Amino acid sequence: MPFAAPISGVDQLKDRPMVAALLGWNASAVQDARFDRDELTIYVTRESIRGAIEFLKSQGITDFLSDVTCADYYPREPRFEMAYHLLSIKNKQRVRLKVRLSGEDPVIESVTPVWPAANFFERELFDLFGVRFLGHPYLRRIMMPEDWQGHPLRKDYPVEGYR
């Protein structure tokens, strides 16, 4: 299934309902938008992620949090890109909210108070990427042992581990 060429930029995508809704909520929070391979991605600022997700939930625009994950673009800065996959069961649509995080200070507000589903996903990211979530009720390692050193999914962590 060949896809149409990607569309990028907030201006080109401001007619899409999700982008329009977020722009209407807080235009300064939306940094960038992209529509690629039938998937809509919206970049928001680090400070506004919980607000944006709370807004989308309270307006009934999205009603399910599918996934929270992260990717490490080391050695580029800002190094981490958080990805929140939201789903609207009503409209049968998905949207991905992304936040860029710097390597020196990978701190972001937790969305667990809004979506309890994010609890385990955020703990996993804390464990494997070392991203810290403010306001998370129980931020502890989940996969690795408590006394483990380092964060295995970071790109500067060797695949074979430290011997």
Q: What is the binding site for other proteins (CB under 8 A)?
A: 1-3, 6, 36-37, 39, 41, 63-67, 69, 71-73, 83, 85, 89, 92, 94, 96, 115-121, 128, 140-147, 152-153, 157, 159
Instruction: Provide the minimum distance between the beta carbon of 113 and other proteins in the complex, in angstroms, as a whole number.
Output: 11
Give the list of residues 6+ apart from residue 74 with CB closer than 8 angstroms, or none. 103, 154, 155, 156
The H or E element containing residue 118 is: helix 118-129
Give the DSSP letter of residue 24.
H
Choose between 26 and 113: whose C-beta lies nearer to other proteins. Answer: 113
Choose between 2 and 163: whose C-beta lies nearer to other proteins. Answer: 2
Instruction: Provide the minimum distance between the beta carbon of 19 and other proteins in the complex, in angstroms, as a whole number.
Output: 18
Instruction: Provide the minimum distance between the beta carbon of 17 and other proteins in the complex, in angstroms, as a whole number.
Output: 17
Say if strands 39-44 and 93-101 run parallel, antiparallel, or are unpaired.
Answer: parallel
Burial readout 122-156 (b: 16 or more C-beta within 10 A, e: otherwise): bbbbbbbbbbbbeebeebeebeeeeeeeebebbee
AA letter at 2: P
Instruction: Provide the minimum distance between the beta carbon of 124 and other proteins in the complex, in angstroms, as a whole number.
Output: 8
Instruction: Provide the minimum distance between the beta carbon of 14 and other proteins in the complex, in angstroms, as a whole number.
Output: 22
Give the list of residues 6+ apart from residue 61 with CB closer than 8 angstroms, or none. 17, 18, 21, 88
Choose between 17 and 24: whose C-beta lies nearer to other proteins. Answer: 17
Choose between 47 and 74: whose C-beta lies nearer to other proteins. Answer: 74
